[in-house]
Chain A
Amino acid sequence: MNIVGISACTSGIAHTYIAKEKLIKAGHEFGHKVRIETQGTIGVEDELTKEEIAAADLVIIAADIKVGGKERFKGKKIVEIPTNIAIKAPKQLYKKIEAELNAKQ
């Protein structure tokens, strides 16, 4: 799958970036292409492009605060989780997502 997402935590210093790395690494293991935008204390980095969002099958928002620009994902399937889930159990997260998607088909 093509997956795009956002990570953001309360102080925007550490968890935001750990969550991003975990989501990308675990995603690759499952064969997904994952792009994560970070909204941290120094602002937005790795901002998602329109094309990336358009091509995405799924959006993952790993955040403990309100993220900016959610309207960009209108019409997309969005999974929203706290950063802890992405850090603690990224593989289980992908398994769960896949199971849910398969159940719907």
Chain B
Amino acid sequence: MDINMEELDFSKVVSEDLIELELQATTKIEAIEELTNLLFVNGCISDEEGFIKDVMYREGEGVTGLEKGVAIPHGKSDYVLKTSIAVGRTQEYLEWESMDGNPINIIILFAVKNADSTTTHIKLIQRVAVLLSDERVVEQFQTLQTKKSFLHLLSQNH
């Protein structure tokens, strides 16, 4: 019962609409732009330019590339209407500072409302972060082929 409830909750922050497995981007900024557009058309953010600025500000503060091709850029921003996660995979590996020095092809972009009074959403984001602390999970991302399988992996209980 508890597990079902949590899965339900999870659909509040990520859905198949927010996953794009064929990003055209060949650079980091292009990937962030494409995913930002996805957030915008799905009503998660109010302004693309403003949000990108906040994401890039965070990029300037430290490395968001993890290991094995997965990066987690994030923006805590006034332009976020609904705390969400957009997920993308690029065709080519991107130059992106990472923990293991490898380039990036899977981008998990966290959009967090600046003043999110409902901590539930941030808790879900946290859970994804915890999930990504497991190297085996990070490795699995590279083997997934469908949006559904991405969604499933992201929402799995740790």
Contact (Cβ within 8 A) B61 A42: no
Mark the stretch among A10-18, A47-55, A68-76, A96-104 that contacts chain B. Answer: A10-18
Contacts of B61 in A (CB 8 A): 10-11, 64
Contact with B along A1-45 (1 / 0, CB 8 A): 000000001111111111011100100000000000000111000
B100 within 8 A of A: yes
- Between A and B, how many residue pairs show CB distances below 8 Å? 66
Contact (Cβ within 8 A) B62 A15: yes
Contact (Cβ within 8 A) B62 A10: yes
The verdict on A14 contacting B125 (CB below 8 Å), with A21-B130, A21-B133, A22-B133 known, is yes
**What separation, in Å, do the CA atoms of A40 and B76 have in the docked complex?**
12
Contacts of A16 in B (CB 8 A): 129
Main secondary structure of the interface of B (DSSP, over half): mixed
Contacts of A88 in B (CB 8 A): 99-100
Candidates B58, B119, B126, B134; contact of A17 at CB < 8 Å: B126
B82 within 8 A of A: no
B52 within 8 A of A: no
Interface size class of chain B, counting residues whose CB lies under 8 Å from the partner chain: 20 to 34
Q: From residue 62 to 79 of chain B, which have CB atoms closer than 8 A to chain A?
A: 62-64, 66, 72, 74, 76
Partner-A contacts on B (CB < 8 A): 58, 61-64, 66, 72, 74, 76, 99-100, 110, 112, 116, 119, 122-123, 125-126, 129-130, 132-134
13 further A-B contacts with Cβ under 8 Å, apart from A13-B76, A14-B132, A17-B129, are A10-B62, A11-B58, A13-B74, A13-B110, A14-B125, A17-B130, A18-B130, A18-B133, A41-B116, A64-B61, A64-B62, A84-B99, A88-B99
The 7 A-B pairs at the shortest CB distance, nearest first, are namely A21-B133, A17-B129, A14-B129, A88-B99, A18-B133, A42-B119, A10-B61
